[in-house]
Amino acid sequence: MKAFRIDRYKGELREADAPEPVAGDHDVLVTVHAAGVNHLDVKLAEGEFTAMLHYELPLTLGHDVAGTVEAVGSAVTRFAVGDEVFARPADFRIGTFAERIAIAEGDVALKPDSLSMVEAASLPLVAVTAWQALVERAGVGVGSRVLIHGGAGGFGSVAVQLAKHLGAHVATTASASNVEWLRGLGADEVIDYRSQDFATLLSGYDLVIDGVGGENLEKSLRVLRPGGLAIGIAGPPDPAFARAIGLNAGLRLAIGGLSAKVRWQARRLGVDYSFLWMHADGRQLAEIAALVDAGALHPVVGRVFPFAETPAALTAMQRGGVRGKIVVSVTD
């Protein structure tokens, strides 16, 4: 089958003939109709996570999929051939920039009826990340005050909507051209990051979700109330994450060092810092699908590329400036 793969880190993403996927007893084999493009694909291709994720090369990239079930394993009970599904395959089972992929049943959900394949493919990674940050880790509810950086991006545009649905007061950062659009998504306050300093305008927040890192993350700690939480989705990773993925003592120490400064700053301010590496979860994705069909969440697709132009889609992701998600259409 055709797939887009890298032969080495920092190398070219190229079309290649890849082995046909084999569905195990607990897997569904999916014909890929569309695949979302994420910053994680770019970072993996650049070799940024080799200390944590030991992939064998050549590697087919792609973390989001929407498609049709072509076959099911003997132990699969929740899906049947012909079902329209979407998923974020688990780490070490990625590879949605391909014509077909085998995915564990537990990582898959039925596609929202109200969405096209392209729209559905834009959601899994960013929507489940938002769910795990806002619901699973922070317990956001009515009256919570939440700051989400980068509201116009793929993650931010979904997280703003979900936080608002949960009853939170939502602030976000974006360029001036996106202010009114983000208010339409549910943001109560939109800070123009080019001309305004969010750290001087906001205070008393329960939660900040940061996908930038560095100085932006450090400034974010100052807008939190005592006991508030900053969640980093772009890093730096913390010791809890290193333990959770089973790194050895040396790597745990190294990982802890990456976040030592921000964790020290958080303690000094009486707040907490936590790194979030999302995990695939089909049941959470099913909850998200229900919210989509109920009209509470809307995917934002900024650009669509044909399958043959998958490398150009990653280049567009690197350049930035796209509102919402970039999606590759495989079957159309």
| Helical segments of 151-202, H only | 154-165, 179-185, 198-201
Q: Cα separation of 98 and 202, whole Å?
A: 44
Query: Is residue 50 over pLDDT 90?
Result: no
Same domain, 138 and 112: no
Query: Is residue 247 over pLDDT 80?
Result: no
* 35 domain residue, yes or no: yes
Same domain, 305 and 256: no
Average pLDDT on 142-160 reads: 97
Average pLDDT on 269-278 reads: 96
* Among the ranges given (42-56, 125-139, 222-236), the one the predictor scored with the smallest mean pLDDT: 42-56
User: How many CB atoms are closer than 10 A to CB 199?
Assistant: 16
- Percent of the chain exceeding pLDDT 70 equals 100
Half-sphere exposure of 332 (CA within 13 A, CB side): 13
* Among the ranges given (34-38, 158-162, 230-234, 235-239), the one the predictor scored with the smallest mean pLDDT: 235-239
Q: What residues make up the domain containing 147?
A: 125-275
The pTM (predicted TM-score) of the whole model is 0.96
Same domain, 267 and 190: yes
pLDDT tens-place string over residues 65-120: 999 999 999 999 999 999 999 999 999 999 999 999 999 999 999 999 999 999 99
- Percent of the chain exceeding pLDDT 90 equals 88
Query: Is residue 147 over pLDDT 80?
Result: yes
Same domain, 22 and 111: yes
Q: How confident is the model at residue 239 (pLDDT cuts 50, 70, 90)?
A: confident
pLDDT tens-place string over residues 275-330: 999 999 999 999 999 999 999 999 999 999 999 999 999 999 999 889 999 999 99
Q: What is the pLDDT of residue 302?
A: 97
Same domain, 260 and 149: yes
Domain of residue 154, CATH code: 3.40.50.720
* 325 domain residue, yes or no: yes
**Phi, psi (degrees; rounded to nearest 5) at 39:** -55, -30
Q: How confident is the model at residue 192 (pLDDT cuts 50, 70, 90)?
A: very high
* 289 domain residue, yes or no: no
* 197 domain residue, yes or no: yes
Same domain, 218 and 264: yes
* 86 domain residue, yes or no: yes
* 109 domain residue, yes or no: yes
Q: Cα separation of 66 and 29, whole Å?
A: 12
| Residue where a domain terminates, one of 236, 260, 275 | 275
Q: Cα separation of 158 and 225, whole Å?
A: 24
Same domain, 38 and 144: no
* 203 domain residue, yes or no: yes
Average pLDDT on 185-199 reads: 97
DSSP, res 263: H
Same domain, 111 and 205: no
Q: What is the pLDDT of residue 53?
A: 81
Same domain, 271 and 308: no
Domain of residue 312, CATH code: 3.90.180.10
Q: Where are the beta strands (DSSP E) in 88-137?
A: 100-104, 108-110
3 state DSSP class of 100: strand
**Phi, psi (degrees; rounded to nearest 5) at 9:** -65, 145
Same domain, 155 and 232: yes
Q: Where are the beta strands (DSSP E) in the chain?
A: 2-6, 13-17, 27-37, 59-60, 65-72, 84-87, 100-104, 108-110, 145-148, 169-174, 189-192, 205-210, 224-232, 272-275, 301-306, 325-329
Same domain, 83 and 178: no
Q: What is the pLDDT of residue 332?
A: 64
| Residue where a domain terminates, one of 259, 275, 291 | 275
Structural domains in the chain (count): 2
| Amino acid making up residue 69 | V
Q: What is the pLDDT of residue 246?
A: 78
Q: Cα separation of 282 and 78, whole Å?
A: 11
User: How many CB atoms are closer than 10 A to CB 34?
Assistant: 26
* 22 domain residue, yes or no: yes
Same domain, 180 and 229: yes
